[in-house]
A = this chain, B = another copy of it.
Amino acid sequence: MSNPSLLILPGDGIGPEVMAEVKRVIDWFGDKRGLAFDVSEDLVGGAAYDAHGTPLTDETMAKAQEVDAVLLGAVGGPKYDNLDFSVKPERGLLRLRKEMDLFSNLRPAQCFDALADFSSLKREVVAGLDIVIVRELTSGIYFGEPRGIIKEGNERVGINTQRYTESEIDRVARSAFELARKRGNKVCSMEKANVMESGILWREVVQKVHDEDYPDVELSHMYADAGAMQLCRWPKQFDVIVTDNLFGDLLSDAAAMLTGSLGMLPSASLGAPMANGRPKALYEPVHGSAPDIAGQGKANPIACILSFAMALRYSFDQGDEAKRIETAVEKVLADGLRTADLIGEEGVEPVSTRQMGDAILAAL
């Protein structure tokens, strides 16, 4: 049997730096745990645009469709701000999500105990926090037509369309309920059903999926603005939150920041099962490309390394090996190692991206 395959797309900004550490972790699993992967690497985002004039070539797209899992670093940067919309770095990532049909984006917002004091929230509000935001990732206003900037009379109008079909809502709701069953068995669904018809349909379908197939899971509904408030007030009231693409973008970023552990948080974007039974999957850190610190060896590689741990768990059914990485990360943090983003108090010397990678390898 051949090895499972991984496509690595480091992308822009700090992407390549943090991915370099992930590659060492992957190699370690091949050498030490007999878990070898066929790894290929390619360009995405601004890096792909610089080389090919497009943020994702058709060849890379085709490769992504064939491998068992994609690992992505980050895309974007001010250098590309004035590019035409159609070739912006982000379009490369959005094309991957859309064409691989990765409808369920799991974004854990977890507070690492060693870092609780680093949050802008009070310790008691975040210590022990462990929630997951399930964000719909292939539809909604990110992809709906019509869209664009058109001329109407003598002025321009910017247009985007939020569209959700029943089946799109149904499948992401199911993934949230399935996840909740493995966790705290509680789902809160967020929309703006008080002002948007797409929110009314969202609420109705989530409720129906619940009543028909997941009556054992506790379900509540919240308007997304109230949800944003409650996340800031007392995030521990939640277990799994399910929401649409745009609300999920804002709410998961806010939640991630609140943990104080932004540089630590991985994400998984999952689609339907492939012929081999594995889901289509892309793993990436929640943080962005951080152009301000790129190339300086300051970035925190942990979110990207934990994204590989999520790949082990969700794509390769290696929950124990995933746990091995997570435990190593906790140990390193408990030992007091901090990259620059995790330095709150004075007097602590930050370690470099590479040193953090070294320490995690040693802890493994």
Residues of A within 8 A of B (CB): 76, 85, 88, 90, 94, 120-122, 125, 141-142, 144, 147-149, 152, 155-167, 192, 194-202, 224-226, 228-234, 246-247, 249-251, 253-254, 256-258, 262, 288
A94 to B195, CA, bound (A): 9
Asked if residues A141 and B196 are in contact (CB atoms below 8 Å), the reply is yes
This chain: how many copies in the complex?
A: 2
Residue of B nearest to A234 (CB): B120
Cross-chain contact of A121 among B120, B167, B256 (Cβ < 8 A): B120
User: In the complex, which residues of chain B have a beta carbon less than 8 angstroms from the beta carbon of A226?
Assistant: 253, 288
Cross-chain contact of A157 among B85, B158, B165, B254 (Cβ < 8 A): B165
Cross-chain contact of A249 among B155, B192, B197, B254 (Cβ < 8 A): B192
Min C-beta distance of A340 to chain B, whole Å: 15
Asked if residues A155 and B162 are in contact (CB atoms below 8 Å), the reply is no
Asked if residues B229 and A256 are in contact (CB atoms below 8 Å), the reply is yes
Query: DSSP majority for the A interface?
Result: helix
Cross-chain contact of A198 among B160, B197, B201 (Cβ < 8 A): B160
User: In the complex, which residues of chain B have a beta carbon less than 8 angstroms from the beta carbon of A165?
Assistant: 152, 155-157
A152 to B90, CA, bound (A): 30
User: In the complex, which residues of chain B have a beta carbon less than 8 angstroms from the beta carbon of A152?
Assistant: 165
User: In the complex, which residues of chain B have a beta carbon less than 8 angstroms from the beta carbon of A76?
Assistant: 194
Residue of B nearest to A262 (CB): B229
Asked if residues A201 and B156 are in contact (CB atoms below 8 Å), the reply is yes
A141 to B226, CA, bound (A): 18
Asked if residues B159 and A198 are in contact (CB atoms below 8 Å), the reply is yes
Asked if residues B254 and A228 are in contact (CB atoms below 8 Å), the reply is yes
Asked if residues B167 and A163 are in contact (CB atoms below 8 Å), the reply is no
Min C-beta distance of A126 to chain B, whole Å: 9
Asked if residues A120 and B163 are in contact (CB atoms below 8 Å), the reply is no
Cross-chain contact of A197 among B148, B201, B234 (Cβ < 8 A): B148
Asked if residues B158 and A164 are in contact (CB atoms below 8 Å), the reply is yes
User: In the complex, which residues of chain B have a beta carbon less than 8 angstroms from the beta carbon of A253?
Assistant: 225-226, 228-229
